[in-house]
Structures are given as structure tokens and as C-alpha cells.
């Protein structure tokens, strides 16, 4: 009776941590073993199982830090997208409803909430816009801004959009028309900047 033993083949392919912070990922793990002794077929040996388990453990150990950084960076990028999108929505609301809309927010390590107020008498009285009170993730905060409190007495910086879509309280130096969002996590890029122009354009960097 002829016996044939095909050696164990292990194919493993994974991507290393990329420049964009994505984690290593196991793409393919294929294990093949076949023993032919008449009609019998053997299973995996203990050494084979230990080897595969060790390789998988190594891949997980290498990929975990990259995944954590990717997740934490995503929270900051999410806050950046949220704030800049809401600023554009506030500007559009001022134009659409022929009103004055202002965004207000604190700055500092725990400054995570911003609100939108609206006025129909050119800033004499303000009402809280029911559509927008936001909080960032606990790891993200308003680090600093060049805007000041110009239309109220709450001592919080304001960004004021007029019914023409313009920003009426741009600082004397246009380069100071910014808001910086910062993460408290240890990640490659810890902060992003949202910039405003007098015409109402909003950009991020």
C-alpha cells in the first residue's frame, strides 16, 4: 500500500502599518496538510497549532498600537468635520432665513461644547437655535481661537454670520480668524485648525 505525505504549507500575508496610521491586517492564513495512507487522513500536529498561534499572536501585537492610533485620530478628525460642517450650516441658515447667526464656544482643556444662537433683529436679542448644541468627544477640546466675545456678555468667543453670509466680527488681523481643535491623546497629529474669512469661507488645515 503506497503512502504519501504532503508537507505542511503556511501562507501568511499581511500589510505593515502604513503612513496613514492604518493597522496591520492579516489578509490570508491558509494551512494545508494531507496524509494519504490508504484511505486515512491525519489532522494537525501540536507543533503546527503552536506555530500558527504564535504567528497570529505576533501579528496582533504588532497591529494593536496602530489600530489604537487610528481610532484616536478618527475622533479628532470627526470633531473637525462636525464643527466645520456646523459652521457652514450656521452660515447657510443666516442667509436662508435672513437672520444673524452666531456660534459660541469656550476654550481650554475641557472646552468641548459649542452652541448656536439666532437673532431676527440684527443682534439686539438672541434665541438659542433649537437645532444645534454640540459636544465633542472627551478627548477633543477647543484649544484656542483668535475670535473674541463681541456681541454678548458671556465672555465666550463668537463667530457671527450675517444674512449676506459674511462674518461680521473677523479680528483686525485676518490671520487670527481661526479656531484650533486639539486632542489630549498621544497621536501623530494632535490638532487641526478651522479658518474663516470675512466673506464667510471656511477652510481646515
In three-state secondary structure terms, 189 is coil
pTM, to two decimals:
0.70
Residue 157: CB atoms within 10 Å: 23
> Class for domain 73-204, per CATH?
alpha beta
- Label residue 38 exposed, middle or buried (CB < 10 Å: 0-12, 13-18, 19+): exposed
Mean pLDDT of all residues in 156-183: 96
Q: Residue 63: pLDDT above 80?
A: no
> Given CA atoms 102, 172, 201, 203 in this order, what sign does their dihedral have?
negative
Do 118 and 101 touch, CB atoms closer than 8 A?
yes
Cell output for 113: 461644547
Mean pLDDT of all residues in 138-158: 91
Distance CA 105, CA 185 (A): 21
In three-state secondary structure terms, 134 is strand
pLDDT of residue 42: 59
Q: What is the DSSP letter of 167?
A: B
Domain residue ranges of the chain, discontinuous segments joined by +? 3-69, 73-204
Give the best-scoring range by mean pLDDT among 8-12, 50-54, 77-81: 77-81
Distance CA 187, CA 176 (A): 26
Q: What is the DSSP letter of 176?
A: G
Distance CA 205, CA 194 (A): 7
- pLDDT band per the 50, 70, 90 thresholds, residue 41: low
Q: Enumerate residues 6+ apart whose C-beta is below 8 A from 28.
A: 11, 12, 13
Mean pLDDT of all residues in 122-150: 90
Residue 37, phi then psi, degrees to nearest 5: -130, 90
Distance CA 133, CA 28 (A): 46
Distance CA 139, CA 116 (A): 22
Mean pLDDT of all residues in 152-162: 89
Of the candidates 149, 147, 145, 89, the residue with the CA atom closest to the CA atom of residue 123: 149
Could you report the per-residue pLDDT of 117-135, keeping only the tens digit for each? Answer: 999 998 889 988 766 899 9
Amino acid at each position: 500500500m503506497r503512502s504519501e505525505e504532503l508537507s505542511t504549507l503556511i501562507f501568511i500575508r499581511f500589510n505593515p502599518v502604513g503612513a496613514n496610521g492604518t493597522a496591520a491586517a492579516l489578509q490570508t492564513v491558509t494551512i494545508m496538510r494531507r496524509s494519504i495512507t490508504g484511505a486515512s487522513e491525519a489532522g494537525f500536529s501540536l507543533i503546527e497549532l503552536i506555530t500558527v498561534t504564535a504567528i497570529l499572536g505576533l501579528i496582533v501585537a504588532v497591529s494593536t498600537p496602530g489600530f489604537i492610533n487610528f481610532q484616536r485620530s478618527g475622533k479628532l478628525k470627526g470633531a473637525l468635520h462636525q464643527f466645520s460642517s456646523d459652521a457652514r450650516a450656521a452660515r447657510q441658515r443666516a442667509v436662508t432665513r435672513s437672520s444673524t447667526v452666531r456660534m459660541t464656544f469656550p476654550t481650554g482643556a475641557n472646552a468641548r461644547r459649542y452652541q448656536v444662537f439666532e437673532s431676527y433683529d440684527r443682534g439686539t436679542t438672541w434665541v438659542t437655535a433649537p437645532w444645534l448644541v454640540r459636544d465633542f468627544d472627551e478627548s477633543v477640546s477647543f484649544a484656542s481661537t483668535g475670535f473674541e466675545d463681541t456681541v454678548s456678555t458671556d465672555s465666550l468667543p463668537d463667530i457671527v454670520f450675517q444674512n449676506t453670509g459674511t462674518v461680521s466680527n473677523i479680528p483686525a488681523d485676518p490671520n487670527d480668524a481661526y479656531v484650533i481643535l486639539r486632542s489630549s491623546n498621544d497621536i501623530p497629529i494632535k490638532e487641526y485648525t478651522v479658518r474663516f474669512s470675512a466673506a464667510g469661507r471656511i477652510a481646515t488645515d
